[in-house]
A and B are shown apart, each in its own frame.
Chain A
Amino acid sequence: MGMNRRNSARPGMTRREFLARSGALGVAGLSLPALLAACGGSDSDGGALLFDNWPLYIDPTEGDLTGSVDRFIAASGIAMKYTETYNDNDEYFAKIQPLLGNGDTIEPDLIAPTFWMAGRLISLGWVDKMPFDKIPNAANLADNYVKPPWDPTGEYSIPWQAGMAGIAYNIDVTGRELKSVADLFDPAFKGKIGMLTEMRDTMGLLLMGQGVDISSIASFDQAAGAFEQLEKAKTDGQIRAFTGNDYIDDLVSGNYAACVGWSGDVLQLGKDAPNIRFVIPEEGGTLWSDVMVIPKGAKNVDAVAKWIDFVYDPVQAAQITAYVQYLSPVKGVREELAKIDPELAESPLVFPDDGMRARLKSWANLSDDVDAQFADAFSAITGA
């Protein structure tokens, strides 16, 4: 029953594949509605709560299954609009910057940037405090997310979902199991290695491969060696492409032998692609999260509180996890998930075991200057 539910809820595309395609359309400027949704300062929808999130990142209403948004609307009576125009941290920032930077408001009441972008928004003062006094279920927040580096006081953000970056590989092409960051630089895979344009995931793995602790990194000098390694691999033709979310197609089709990838993607491929494996390298992998923040001046703060309270109920959160298959930041989800999808509840890619936990590291919050150095060095290498 559980598996059937999950399979019937599986969309034709994975979240990241969808991202890749919609990202491609966005490149061509075809995502005008997206732009309007993000930039429309006017409140054309009156009092409806608007959550602008990443695509395919919540269970939708499909067939006889009621999605989380509709369950929330039915339970609370609050009008809610859920949009999926958050495609890329940097691009979204470029869209909201002229508005929030000038003290104007943006339309969404809630967005879910990746943790470092949330940290940037917090330090720029472009977000409002979370009304935690009205969110009793916030007590269900898993311990490792309490007062995280990007939000040291814990007043401004609360995670939506989390995930891991490690090495994804196609064993038909590699011909062997991979277990180390060094495998990405194996000359046998020349021109068949993919890297993510998400700087913290790509550099995170390379830094850990060089023994640098990303959870305490504070200066660019500590990373210079890893950037040199990346630069050399790019010049030598080791790296086939720096991609956003479209790496999974190249991996499945065999264009890539291996790449830096995200846990949920490989999990979502499931039994259809038994030759695709995911490993947290022995040197370490990154643990990231997309966190909910309230853009400054948002109107429906009370409704935001009710929504977060709703999705931090483990029963509801388990429904989301069953669909998106990333790491849930909500305590008690595993027990609830076991009732609807026992197999997924045992997956180490959704509930990392102690061995995997020990290898996972989260990035330190980089100061603005250092972050700029990292971003510049990375974009210079990715060659765009």
Chain B
Amino acid sequence: MLASRADHAGLGALAVAALCLVALGAGWFDGAVNALVVLVLIIVAAGVGALAALGGPQARRLLAPYGLMKPGLLWMALFFLAPVWSLLRISLSTKESRFSVQYDFGWAWENYSTAFSDFGAQFQRAFLYSAIATVLTILIGYPVAYVIAFRGGRFKNVLLGLVVIPFFTSYLIRTIAWSTILADQGPIVSVLRTFGLVGVFEFLQIMDNGKLLNTPAAVIGGLTYNFLPFMLLPIYVSLEKIDPSLVRAANDLYSTPTAAFRKVVLPLSVPGVFAGTLLTFIPAAGDFVNAQFLGNPNTTMIGNSIQDQFLRQNNYPVAAAMSTVLMASITALVLLYTRFFGTDDIA
């Protein structure tokens, strides 16, 4: 009887186990009840194990899909759902006192109004800078990926390696290195000064008062540099898959090279651009390293504010509210983007 309904048993066990892990991870209960939750978890696991062992081949076949889902789902329950639940709860809590470690839950929506009123500019900058950086990575990454994929020949792997090798160095070291390169007495500014181009760059809003470092351009440039491979590699993969004979066919049908690119190569490579955009925009919007090392006090992004509120101001409720807003806005933007540009291959 039970063996024939093993799929239901498997699903139920999975749901109960996930709930137990969320309860443990988010700290729903105190010590004694937690022990009970662990006990339930063990009983459920043992029950499913017993069912699989004793229920025969049919039960095992029905259980197998849930068994395969188990690692992923339980992992998400403990390390994604539980933290998100805690985050939401803290974002609606208040602190008892300034240095208190207790947070009283009380639908404190004012944390969200603080997040918007005090940090609206940082939100705007985060989305603006990361959007510009994403566009720049496409403009830079696409041609490079194209050349490697179609003209790379036997050097393809070497060229790809050259793209990736700098990223064996730590993210921080690479970002801090840019502060040396862009410094006021550094190589780039010196060259610009020698050729009298500082005025042009200032007119283009790239330089400010003769400096390149600690400007919005430096922050966007840092984001672009740091996330370029995340754009380039997916585009390369989608270009690499394109059969060159399709382009030849277009040429045979009297297509100009431009039209062949526009009508054949570009549409087939959109999935790569789409994946690259997600891989670039999402982390860039929450980034705080580039703004910290390459920016100035007027270029801070929301990631800097969240980090500061969490780790220096001890203001967990407002920090949690900001994190929630950031997650929600990114989710909304990505859904919108998927709606308009998404392809079946990815979404």
Closest beta carbon of chain A to B45's beta carbon, Å: 30
Q: Are A253 and B183 in contact, CB atoms less than 8 angstroms apart?
A: yes
Q: Are A241 and B100 in contact, CB atoms less than 8 angstroms apart?
A: no
Q: Are A237 and B308 in contact, CB atoms less than 8 angstroms apart?
A: no
Closest beta carbon of chain A to B192's beta carbon, Å: 16
Q: Which residues of A contact B289 (CB under 8 A)?
A: 27-28
Closest beta carbon of chain A to B13's beta carbon, Å: 35
Q: Are B185 and A254 in contact, CB atoms less than 8 angstroms apart?
A: yes
State the CA gap A79–B87 with chains docked (Å): 43
Closest beta carbon of chain B to A357's beta carbon, Å: 32
Task: Tell me the nearest residue of chain B to A91, going by C-beta.
Answer: B311
Contact of B298 among A97, A102, A383 (CB under 8 A): A383
A42 part of interface (Cβ distance < 8 Å): no
B interface, by DSSP: helix, strand, loop or mixed?
Answer: loop
Task: Tell me the nearest residue of chain B to A99, going by C-beta.
Answer: B101
The interface-forming segment of B157-165, B269-277, B299-307 is: B299-307
B59 part of interface (Cβ distance < 8 Å): no
Q: Are A382 and B184 in contact, CB atoms less than 8 angstroms apart?
A: no
Q: Are B208 and A191 in contact, CB atoms less than 8 angstroms apart?
A: yes
A124 part of interface (Cβ distance < 8 Å): yes
State the CA gap A77–B209 with chains docked (Å): 60
Q: Are B314 and A94 in contact, CB atoms less than 8 angstroms apart?
A: yes
Closest beta carbon of chain A to B168's beta carbon, Å: 16
State the CA gap A43–B190 with chains docked (Å): 55
A interface, by DSSP: helix, strand, loop or mixed?
Answer: helix
Q: Which residues of B contact A239 (CB under 8 A)?
A: 296-297
Q: Are A234 and B100 in contact, CB atoms less than 8 angstroms apart?
A: no
State the CA gap A205–B172 with chains docked (Å): 32
* Contacting residues of chain A (180-220) with chain B, CB-CB under 8 angstroms: 190-192
Task: Tell me the nearest residue of chain B to A121, going by C-beta.
Answer: B99
Q: Which residues of B contact A28 (CB under 8 A)?
A: 170-172, 289
Contact of B313 among A190, A241, A379 (CB under 8 A): A379
Q: Are B183 and A97 in contact, CB atoms less than 8 angstroms apart?
A: no
Contact of A254 among B183, B296, B304 (CB under 8 A): B183
State the CA gap A102–B289 with chains docked (Å): 32
- Give per-residue flags for B57-74: 1 if the beta carbon is below 8 A from chain A beta carbons, else 0: 000000000000000000
State the CA gap A191–B296 with chains docked (Å): 9
Task: Tell me the nearest residue of chain A to B316, going by C-beta.
Answer: A94
Closest beta carbon of chain A to B124's beta carbon, Å: 13
Q: A25-B172, A94-B314 are in contact. Are A382 and B307 (CB under 8 A)?
A: no
Q: Which residues of B contact A25 (CB under 8 A)?
A: 172
Q: Are A97 and B311 in contact, CB atoms less than 8 angstroms apart?
A: no
Q: Are B312 and A94 in contact, CB atoms less than 8 angstroms apart?
A: yes
Centre residue among B185, B288, B312 by max chain A CB count within 10 A: B312
Centre residue among B99, B100, B300 by max chain A CB count within 10 A: B99
Number of A-B residue pairs at CB separation under 8 A: 95
Tell me the count of chain A residues lying within 8 A, CB to CB, of chain B: 37
* Contacting residues of chain A (341-384) with chain B, CB-CB under 8 angstroms: 368, 372, 375, 379-384
Contact of B101 among A98, A190, A234, A237 (CB under 8 A): A98
Q: Which residues of A contact B122 (CB under 8 A)?
A: 383
Q: Which residues of A contact B209 (CB under 8 A)?
A: 190-191, 237
B211 part of interface (Cβ distance < 8 Å): yes
Q: Are B172 and A24 in contact, CB atoms less than 8 angstroms apart?
A: yes
* Contacting residues of chain A (260-300) with chain B, CB-CB under 8 angstroms: none
Centre residue among A24, A27, A383 by max chain B CB count within 10 A: A383
State the CA gap A162–B280 with chains docked (Å): 46
Q: Which residues of B contact A190 (CB under 8 A)?
A: 209
Contact of A101 among B100, B214, B308 (CB under 8 A): B100
A240 part of interface (Cβ distance < 8 Å): yes
Q: Which residues of A contact B305 (CB under 8 A)?
A: 384
Q: Are A240 and B214 in contact, CB atoms less than 8 angstroms apart?
A: yes
Q: Are B297 and A191 in contact, CB atoms less than 8 angstroms apart?
A: no
State the CA gap A88–B305 with chains docked (Å): 17
State the CA gap A239–B180 with chains docked (Å): 19
B37 part of interface (Cβ distance < 8 Å): no
A255 part of interface (Cβ distance < 8 Å): yes
A153 part of interface (Cβ distance < 8 Å): no
Contact of A97 among B101, B171, B304, B310 (CB under 8 A): B101
B118 part of interface (Cβ distance < 8 Å): yes
State the CA gap A25–B292 with chains docked (Å): 13
Q: Are B297 and A242 in contact, CB atoms less than 8 angstroms apart?
A: yes
Q: Which residues of A contact B339 (CB under 8 A)?
A: none
Closest beta carbon of chain B to A384's beta carbon, Å: 4
B154 part of interface (Cβ distance < 8 Å): no
Q: Are B211 and A191 in contact, CB atoms less than 8 angstroms apart?
A: yes
A145 part of interface (Cβ distance < 8 Å): no
Q: Are A255 and B99 in contact, CB atoms less than 8 angstroms apart?
A: no
Q: Which residues of B contact A255 (CB under 8 A)?
A: 183-185, 211, 213-214
Q: Are A24 and B176 in contact, CB atoms less than 8 angstroms apart?
A: yes
Q: A234-B297, A241-B297 are in contact. Are A368 and B176 (CB under 8 A)?
A: no
B98 part of interface (Cβ distance < 8 Å): yes
Given contacts A255-B211, A383-B300, 5 further A-B contacts (CB under 8 A): A27-B307, A124-B99, A234-B298, A254-B183, A383-B122
Would you mind naming 11 contact pairs between A and B with Cβ atoms under 8 Å apart? A28-B289, A90-B312, A90-B313, A93-B314, A94-B310, A94-B312, A98-B101, A124-B99, A191-B208, A235-B298, A383-B300
- Which 7 pairs of residues, A with B, have the shortest CB-CB distance? A384-B308, A101-B101, A90-B312, A383-B297, A383-B300, A254-B185, A191-B209
